[in-house]
Each structure stands twice: as C-alpha cells, then as structure tokens.
Chains A and B, each alone.
Chain A
Amino acid sequence: ETGVTQTPRHLVMGMTNKKSLKCEQHLGHNAMYWYKQSAKKPLELMFVYSLEERVENNSVPSRFSPECPNSSHLFLHLHTLQPEDSALYLCASSQKVSPTLAGGPSYEQYFGPGTRLTVT
C-alpha cells in the first residue's frame, strides 16, 4: 500500500467521450502531480499542484484538464482525446514541492499504481 490510490485502474474510451481520472493520497502531503508514461518514452510530468494551486503545466494540450479540489484529491478530466494519448497515467504526491534553490531540502515523491488508458 503506497498511500496513493488511483481509480479507475483501466479505462477504455472513444475519442468523443468525456471521462475523469481520480487520485487520492492518504499521506497528509501538500503537493500532487500527474505524470504520463507512453510506450517507449520516459515518464514525463504533466501538472503539479501545491496546496490546491497549479504551479506547473508542462505544455499539456487543453484536452487534459486537471482539478485539485483539496490537498488530498487530484483529478484529470479527459475530453476529445486522440489514440496517441493512450498511456499509463500516474499520480504522485510529496510533502511539499521543492524549494527555490537547488541544494536545499527536497521531498520524496510517492506514486500511485496508475490508470491504464486506451483511446479507441
């Protein structure tokens, strides 16, 4: 049990559907993250939230819409996706985001099991 849960674990959707991915962390953390893992590509960051405020959007298309209603929950709303969006979507949390200067204290990220998304 990692303390970070994701639902659903598997999702198949058509290109015209609207669906949402959910992440919940039970660790009392203040920062949450969405990552995407495509076949044959390294894991890449999508969004970062700190205390429910988005602090990073890594040039993600608008068909992905994140929502963080509180520090324990993070959603990824999906609409009009493309087949190339099929991937494993991973949620993570950490106590805080890293401070301004490298070399200062930093915080370990804990990952959920992921949602395997297939867009048909």
Chain B
Amino acid sequence: GEDVEQSLFLSVREGDSSVINCTYTDSSSTYLYWYKQEPGAGLQLLTYIFSNMDMKQDQRLTVLLNKKDKHLSLRIADTQTGDSAIYFCAEMTGANNLFFGTGTRLTVIP
C-alpha cells in the first residue's frame, strides 16, 4: 500500500539552504512531486521527478531521489521568508492518484 512520511517541522535562517525529506513505500511509484501550500490556499506544484531519474534541478530547487531507499528530498537554496509554507511530498502510482505525506512546515527566520 501507499504510505508517505515526512518530518513535521523545519526551521532555517534566511539565506541558508533548506532540505526537506520524504520517504515512501510504494515501489511502483511512477512520479514523485513536491507541492507548496501557504495558509488558507490550495497547493502549488513546485517540481516533480520521474522515478527513473535520480536528480532534477530547477533554479533554487534541487530534487534528489534514491529509489533503492525510497527516499526523496527537496533542497531550497538561499531560502527566503517567502518560502515559509507547508511542503508536501506526493507519489503517483499506476492509478493516476496522488498520495500525499502529512507535510513539513518550513519556517524561515529573518
């Protein structure tokens, strides 16, 4: 079955790098995603990675995937106060549904 786990909280200082981690259990995952949610808002797609890749970079965002360990991470370089939000990891299986973790609340300290 599907199970996606994330740590609940992360605090970093402005300008530092943030690393948000995620583990998942379904080895048949085809794509893995990172979404950002600000208070009272919907989910904003940040980036995603196909399961046969191990890294993807998009401006300040770097995604690393270790398929053997079923571990996904999101690194945000030069973290800004506007990056404070909840970050969700999600996996897509063959059924085209997304299964989400509980989210990591990132707090950026000025």
Q: Do A and B come from one complex?
A: no
